[in-house]
Amino acid sequence: MIRVITLTPSANNISGGYISGDTVLVKCDATDAAFTAYLPSAPLADNVIFEFIKTDSSANVVTIAPVNNETINGVTSAAIAAQYNSKRLVSDKNNWIDFNTGTLTLSNITDNGLTAGKGVNTDANKLMVSSDQRCNTTDIIGSAGLAIGNNSNAGVNFYDGAILAANLRWFLANNPTGDGFTLYKYTGTGSYAGVALTVLSSGSLVLAVIKSGATQAAAGAVAGELWKTSSHATLPDNVVLIGV
């Protein structure tokens, strides 16, 4: 059975009313103040799932604490800081297990800065973070790590250095006009090609690089590739076709 209770700064204890097999939804309202919500004793809550959720939008943090020196995932408490974030806690008869930490923690990540437009990520399977420029340099060649950069157009791009050869790498960033996202092609150290395509905030797709010609053969388009007419025998210019 699902049971619902509400905790506040003035009523912050789970006092019972549940049985083995229940799921207890604990709605925590910290509108008035931050507070600590106290769990029941772990041995008394065997086979009961407690779902804690912070329902208010305030900055007040809800702390969840066991009693009798019990722990949650080996520590003395857990916290929920943002509205609708949640924790799923289950007793193992001695302590508490949190099956929903609500966060992803990544350790040993270096902000490379990239003040010169370069970052170094020489260790495979590691994450490189840039606070400044695009992560698009040849320093990432040979790495299987993922680079995340806050580029100079205030966008965020994701780039896996092991996907393609140096002259075939691509990365995603904010459109320089500030509307939508653009796919760029990396062409060398510190360089990137013209826009390949842009998805505008309206959902429209803009193709900046597309082959053109009087025929598909003249455009050099292969089967399935988009191309547009230029001096076509019967069609006006800029009619987009699909290669066959």
Domain extent at residue 178 = 110-207
pLDDT value, residue 202: 79
pLDDT tier at 132, thresholds 50, 70, 90: very low
- Is 72 in the same domain as 48? yes
pLDDT value, residue 127: 47
Looking at the DSSP bridge assignments, the partners of residue 91 are 46, 96
In a domain, 9, yes or no: yes
Mean pLDDT score, 160-183: 55
In a domain, 13, yes or no: yes
Q: Number of folded domains in the chain?
A: 3
User: Is residue 121's pLDDT more than 50?
Assistant: no
Mean pLDDT score, 140-167: 41
pLDDT value, residue 66: 95
- Is 61 in the same domain as 142? no
Mean pLDDT score, 48-60: 95
- Is 84 in the same domain as 157? no
In a domain, 105, yes or no: no
Q: List the strands of the sheet with 110-111, edge to edge.
A: 110-111, 127-130, 146-150, 156-160
Give the whole-angstrom CA distance, residue 144 versus residue 128.
Answer: 11
- Is 220 in the same domain as 186? no
Mean pLDDT score, 110-136: 42
User: Is residue 184's pLDDT more than 70?
Assistant: no
